[in-house]
Amino acid sequence: MTSNAAKNPRITCAAQVGESCPPYARKEILGQIAYRMETKVRLKGNQRNMTKLPILLVSGASGGLGQLVLQNLLDRYCIDPTRIIAVTRSPAKLSEFAARGIAVRAGDFDKSEGLVEAFSDADRLLLISTDADPLQSYLDDVDPMGDPNRRRVRRQAAEAAGVAHIIYTSAPNPEPPTVCFWKRDHFRTEQAIRESSMSWSMLRNWEYPDFHLAYSWAQAVASGHYLAGSGAGRCAFITRKDCAHAAAAALASDFSGKRVFNITGARTYCMDEVLALIAEINGREIEVTHVSPAEMRRRLTERGEDLAPVFTAFHEGMGLGKYDCVSFDFEALTGTTPGSLEDFLRANPVTEEQTNVVFRFADLNS
Ligand SMILES: NC(=O)c1ccc[n+]([C@@H]2O[C@H](COP(=O)([O-])OP(=O)(O)OC[C@H]3O[C@@H](n4cnc5c(N)ncnc54)[C@H](OP(=O)(O)O)[C@@H]3O)[C@@H](O)[C@H]2O)c1
Nearest ligand 1 atom to the CA of 109 is: 32
Domain region containing 89: 4-206+240-263
Ramachandran assignment for 246, one of left (phi > 0), alpha (psi -120 to 50 degrees), beta (any other): alpha
| Shared domain check, 216 and 152 | no
The whole-number average pLDDT for the span 299-307 is 85
Ligand 1 centroid–CA 64 distance in Å is: 7
* Tens digits of residue pLDDT in 224-236: 999 999 999 999 9
| Shared domain check, 215 and 201 | no
| Shared domain check, 247 and 329 | no
Atom 27, ligand 1: residue with shortest CA distance: 130
Most informative mutation of 85, 128, 242 for ligand 1 (most atoms within 8 A of CB): 128
pTM (2 decimals)?
A: 0.84
Ligand 1 centroid–CA 8 distance in Å is: 36
Residue 74 belongs to domain with CATH number: 3.40.50.720
Q: Supply the DSSP string of 63-113, one letter for each residue.
A: SHHHHHHHHIIIIIS---GGGEEEEES-GGGGHHHHHTT-EEEE--TT--T
Atom 11, ligand 1: residue with shortest CA distance: 129
Q: Name the least confident of 60-64, 66-70, 138-142.
A: 138-142
DSSP letter for 18, please.
G
| Shared domain check, 95 and 197 | yes
Residue 288 belongs to domain with CATH number: 3.90.25.10
Choose the most confident range, by mean pLDDT, from 16-30, 43-57, 68-82, 303-317.
Answer: 68-82
Ligand 1 site, CB within 6 A: 60-66, 88-90, 108-110, 128-132, 169, 205, 207-208, 211, 240
| Shared domain check, 186 and 228 | no
Output the average pLDDT for the chain: 82
Atom 10, ligand 1: residue with shortest CA distance: 129
| Shared domain check, 214 and 89 | no
